[in-house]
Amino acid sequence: MQSIVAKDLTKKFGDFIAVNHINFEVEKGEIFGFLGANGAGKTTAIKMMSGLLLPTSGDALIGGYSIKTESKQIKRHIGYMSQRFSLYNDLTVFENMQLFGTVYEIPPKELKQRIYNSLEDLQLLDQKNALVASIPLGWKQKLAFATAILHRPEIVFLDEPTSGVDPIVRREFWKLIYQAAASGITIFVTTHYMDEAEYCHRMSIMSDGCLKLIGTPDELKRQMGVDTIDEVFVKFVKR
Amino acid sequence: MSEITIQHINKRFGKIQALKDISLSVETGEVFGLVGPDGAGKSTLFNILTTLLVPDSGNVEVMGMDVVKDYLQIRQVIGYLPGVFSLYPDLSVQENLAFFATMYKSSILDNISLIKPIWKQLLPFKKRPAGKLSGGMKQKLALCCALIHKPKLLFLDEPTTGVDPVSRREFWDILKDIQHKGVTVVVSTPYMDEATRCDRIALIQNGEIIKIDTPSNIVSNFRGHLFTMRTNDIFGLMQLMEHFELRCNYYPYGEHFHIAFYDEVEKALPAFEHFMQEHGREHGEILPITPNIEDCFIELIQMK
């Protein structure tokens, strides 16, 4: 079953083609890496797929819903987390999760249970009444991820979730990604850390609005005749 | 000669101790890197060095001047590229540069030599408002503005955060060029791989410096015996490894699995191979490798 099906997805801003007829599919439970240089069109593509921006032409089915006609449904079935905005600093850990859970209309009793389970998994239960402002960045990122999947979305979009995080927390974060994927949540992730691209089941590289490469990390390395994804990226973008 | 001398500085914001007893020096002409994750205290240290923030205790001298008493003189001779975009978005590229040149009582033409290669790339956009430039071009303009008064000492706070790997490389080439023109460079980054582009680095975590040295010395002081191998289901192996009894540190590293043994290799390696076999885990050849800065940083954090 496919969680994402993009068909000739295109976005123009005036004369500028930000996203140019991209086609790809992502399977349910897959970890899909979305790479590209700055300005390649990644953010525009993610905005369209999360129902925030209408395409100029083409379409994408997200969890079976069309981004052109069913964007409201899409918002209920996806989660989203970025490095920049994730949680409210002046609410506590618990209040943040409660707020997001309530927005997604999780029944109160059920919500409380899910928050407790989630905090227990993260070993953050003793921090539930701490203000988010006061907890370390590494914890915040893990908490933001747990919050983004509290409503058990079909797909979660992660936009540079580990940017600026220390090497140990980065790896802990990926452990959470693997757990979520194993539970059936589809992961769509962007990163500038090339070692993280290797953790993806499949990945793609965007350049000048086009999706130029797509495959498993091993396939792409073989195709480009190099040993690491870093070299794939450099070779590809400089071309 | 030392361009910067920091002795035992502390800085606290309410309950948070942002910097804990930091001492270090930066030599004239070097590229000195401050490497650590967000929230480690890098920007606080930069703000103190650039005279924007006063430390709670300790002494800091920049080019022989005191950051508290001589702050006005220091500001004349340093360049600073802050972590957030701080140019005037509604002034054009050329107007921004002219503005900064005038502030330092000079002109673009007087000092063009230092920034010529970067400025050439900006020329096609010189009439465009700075706010409408791409991320990479904004960064290059900010660098020009920080260099237009020919500072002897340049501070760059995370100039490459969120920048793609190819543009990051280009930016480091520019920094090296600036160094060769006689400018001392102090730069911070959360990317471990950039540490090797510095002459010396300080690894910083939770407001404390955990190591200061050249990248090659840091690597040669790695304590464990580091090995790498390929295997499928790396994250599954992570859980299994909790049952491996010898002293070691292990983590995924891209497509590889890194494991550092802290017992004699002669004993640890066969024990590990046996462990893998016992649990029916297939794996590729286990090869010894030289650690990189990221391996070292992980080891240093774990040891603390």
Question: A238 pLDDT exceeds 80?
Answer: no
d(CA B68, CA B60): 8
Do B237 and B211 lie in one domain? The reply is no
Number of domains present in the structure of chain A = 1
Q: How many CA atoms lie within 13 A of B216 on its CB side?
A: 1
Do B42 and B187 lie in one domain? The reply is yes
Do B44 and B170 lie in one domain? The reply is yes
CATH number at residue B276: 3.30.70.270
Instruction: Specify whether the CB–CB gap between A5 and A61 falls below 8 A.
Output: yes
- Give me the pLDDT at residue B98, please: 94
Number of domains present in the structure of chain B = 2
* ipTM higher than threshold 0.85: no
Q: pLDDT per residue over B181-192, tens digit each?
A: 999 999 999 888
Look at residues B166, B190, B219 and tell me which one is the last residue of a structural domain. Answer: B219
Do B279 and B241 lie in one domain? The reply is yes
Look at residues B181, B199, B219 and tell me which one is the last residue of a structural domain. Answer: B219
Do B266 and B184 lie in one domain? The reply is no
- Give me the pLDDT at residue B203, please: 94
Q: Which amino acid is at B200?
A: R
Cβ contact (<8 Å) for A36 and B253?
no
d(CA B3, CA B22): 16
Q: What angle do the packed helices A108-121 and A93-103 form, to 10 degrees? A: 130
| Minimum distance, in Å, between the CA of residue B161 and any CA atom of chain A | 7
Give a yes or no: residue A49 inside a domain: no
Count of pairs with CB atoms under 8 A, one residue in A, one in B: 89
d(CA B175, CA A174): 32
Token code pair at residue A40? 């390649």
Cβ contact (<8 Å) for A192 and B298?
no
Question: A150 pLDDT exceeds 90?
Answer: yes
Query: Span A92-114, mean pLDDT?
Result: 96
Give a yes or no: residue A48 inside a domain: no
- Give me the pLDDT at residue A234, please: 86
d(CA A37, CA B167): 8
Query: Span A109-125, mean pLDDT?
Result: 95
- Give me the pLDDT at residue B166, please: 84
A137 interaction partners in chain B (CB closer than 8 Å): 37-39
Question: A60 pLDDT exceeds 80?
Answer: yes
d(CA A58, CA A44): 14
Indicate the residue of A39, A160, A233 with minimum beta-carbon distance to B135. Answer: A39
- Give me the pLDDT at residue B113, please: 84
d(CA B77, CA B63): 9
Do B73 and B150 lie in one domain? The reply is yes
- Give me the pLDDT at residue A236, please: 80
Indicate the residue of B40, B136, B234 with minimum beta-carbon distance to A38. Answer: B136
Cβ contact (<8 Å) for A168 and B301?
yes
Do B197 and B253 lie in one domain? The reply is no
Q: Which of A1-15, A49-63, A132-146 has the lowest mean pLDDT?
A: A132-146
CATH number at residue B183: 3.40.50.300
Interface test with B, best of A187, A190, A195, A212 (most B CBs within 10 A): A195
Task: Tell me which residue range forms the domain holding B87.
Answer: 2-219
Question: A184 pLDDT exceeds 90?
Answer: yes
At residue A239 the predicted structure's pLDDT band, cuts being 50, 70 and 90, is: low
Give every residue of chain B whose pLDDT is below 50, as ranges: none
Count CB-CB contacts under 10 A for residue B83.
Answer: 15
CATH number at residue A119: 3.40.50.300
d(CA B122, CA A161): 31
Task: Tell me which residue range forms the domain holding A175.
Answer: 2-42+56-238
Do B130 and B267 lie in one domain? The reply is no
Instruction: Specify whether the CB–CB gap between B252 and B234 falls below 8 A.
Output: yes
Nearest residue of A to residue B135, measured between CA atoms: A38
d(CA A220, CA A203): 9
Token code pair at residue A224? 């480009």
Do B206 and B241 lie in one domain? The reply is no
Indicate the residue of A163, A168, A217 with minimum beta-carbon distance to B255. Answer: A217
Residues of A with CB under 8 A from a CB of B: 36-39, 83, 134, 136-138, 160, 163-169, 171, 174-175, 178, 192, 194-199, 217-218, 228-230, 233-234, 237-238
Look at residues B151, B185, B219 and tell me which one is the last residue of a structural domain. Answer: B219
Cβ contact (<8 Å) for B190 and A164?
yes
At residue A85 the predicted structure's pLDDT band, cuts being 50, 70 and 90, is: low
Do B99 and B70 lie in one domain? The reply is yes
